Amino acid sequence: MCTYQTTTLPVRGSGKGAGGWFPVTDATVYFDHPVHAPGDHTLNLDLVNPGEGPGARVAVELDAASARALAHAILETLDAVPEALVAGRA
Amino acid sequence: MRAETISFTGAGGDEIEGYLAQPLDRGPVGGVVVIHHMPGYDEPTKEITRRFAAMGYLALMPNLYWREAPGASPDDAAATARRQGGVPDDRLVGDVGGAAAYLRGLSSSNGKVATIGYCSGGRQSFLAACSLPLDAAVDCYGAFVLNPPPEGSPLSVGPLGHLAPDLHCPLLGLFGAEDQFPSPDEVAALDALLTEHGKAHEFHTYEDAGHAFFATNRTSYRPEAANDGWERIERFFQTHLAG
């Protein structure tokens, strides 16, 4: 099925897409059919900059277990570094 | 057969991209507007468009995401459209109406046009059939015809049940029993609503199939359901698109 479950949020940083590096301003997280990954449904993450056009996108499609592991790894990594560094701007 | 990218006039007089496939050895014949799924104007749906030409129909798939993402790859365009809430209903009707007019204007047209849509396009095929003078319509597992999108959905569209009295043409519906969008209950409710309004329709639900059972490039592909569905579509169009 199409789950249609989608979350969008503003982000700040950079991503490397087909045209090289660009500033990312928005993220879309959704659980739906992948374009490329095997499997019927994947956790899909788009890091984009709408101001630079549809091609300014870093796309990731992960199976659910991988996505959870990645999310935990991100949080564990952030928790492990000194607060003063995390509080700084990207 | 010739298949090519064209430009035609859609909603609001906008020139939008379309993928046209047409048989070269026969005519006059009917036309089919192919309404792509949420993943967009992609290669698998172009293949479906060519299949209709191989069946003997003029087939045109509008790029419904052309305005948001002209020239973008289909997946980037679909991601952009998802963030923006999908295709507005009034624009969809204008684009499909423009595609139908383009097909009717071809020298090999017999003047008849049907729509077929998959996934979000299934709902849009129903919407078009309630809004435009078409000769037939096919809804392949379109969700949110009666029920609103769930919380967290990127789609900014509403239910269409109130349009059922306006359905202009026979409707063929093909669904999977294991699908939740649309669920078998929603399909049954639409079936009952169309019966109540005396609208010609033919619904089939495949027990061993879920959403997107026609999609040969996905694990959701169910050959038995898809093969039977294609045969039903072919018979349906033979009946309603004959000159």
In angstroms, the separation between the Cα of residue B225 and the nearest Cα of chain A is 15
B150 CB neighbours in chain A (<8 A) are 4-5
Q: Is B111 left (phi over 0), alpha (psi -120 to 50) or beta?
A: left
- pLDDT score, position B154: 73
B149 touching A (Cβ < 8 Å): yes
- Record: contact A46-B79, CB cut-off 8 A: yes
Give the tens place of pLDDT for each residue, B18-67.
Answer: 999 999 988 899 999 999 999 999 999 999 999 999 999 999 999 999 99
Give CA B37 to chain center in angstroms: 8
Q: What's the total number of domains in chain B? A: 1
Closest by Cβ to B79, choosing from A38, A40, A59: A59
* Percentage above 70 pLDDT, chain B: 100
State whether residue B62 is helix, strand or coil. strand
Q: Are B211 and B141 in contact (CB under 8 A)?
A: yes
Give the tens place of pLDDT for each residue, B207-222.
Answer: 999 999 999 988 899 9
Closest by Cβ to A1, choosing from B82, B155, B180: B180
Range B178-200 average pLDDT: 97
Q: 3-class secondary structure for A29-84?
A: EEEECCCCCCCCCEEEEEEECHHHCCCCEEEEEECHHHHHHHHHHHHHHHHHCCHH
Q: How many contacts, defined by CB atoms under 8 Å, are there between A and B?
A: 75
- Record: contact B149-A4, CB cut-off 8 A: yes
Which of A32, A33, A42 to mutate to probe the B interface, most B CBs <10 Å?
A33
Closest by Cβ to B83, choosing from A1, A8, A53: A8
- pLDDT score, position A84: 83
B210 CB neighbours in chain A (<8 A) are 1
- pLDDT score, position A2: 62
- pLDDT score, position B153: 76
Q: At B100, which CATH number?
A: 3.40.50.1820
- What's the full length of chain A, in residues? 90
Band of residue B151 on the pLDDT scale cut at 50, 70, 90? confident
Cα nearest neighbour of B180 on chain A: A1
ipTM of the complex: 0.82
- pLDDT score, position B77: 97
- pLDDT score, position A40: 83
Average pLDDT, chain B: 96
What is the domain range of residue B50? 2-240
Cα nearest neighbour of B119 on chain A: A2
The amino acid sitting at A81 is V
- pLDDT score, position B206: 98
Give the tens place of pLDDT for each residue, B81-116.
Answer: 988 888 999 999 999 999 999 999 999 999 999 999
- pLDDT score, position A88: 63
Per-residue pLDDT of chain A (90 residues; tens, 9 = 90+): 566 678 899 999 999 999 899 999 999 999 988 999 988 889 999 999 999 999 999 999 999 999 999 999 999 999 999 888 887 654
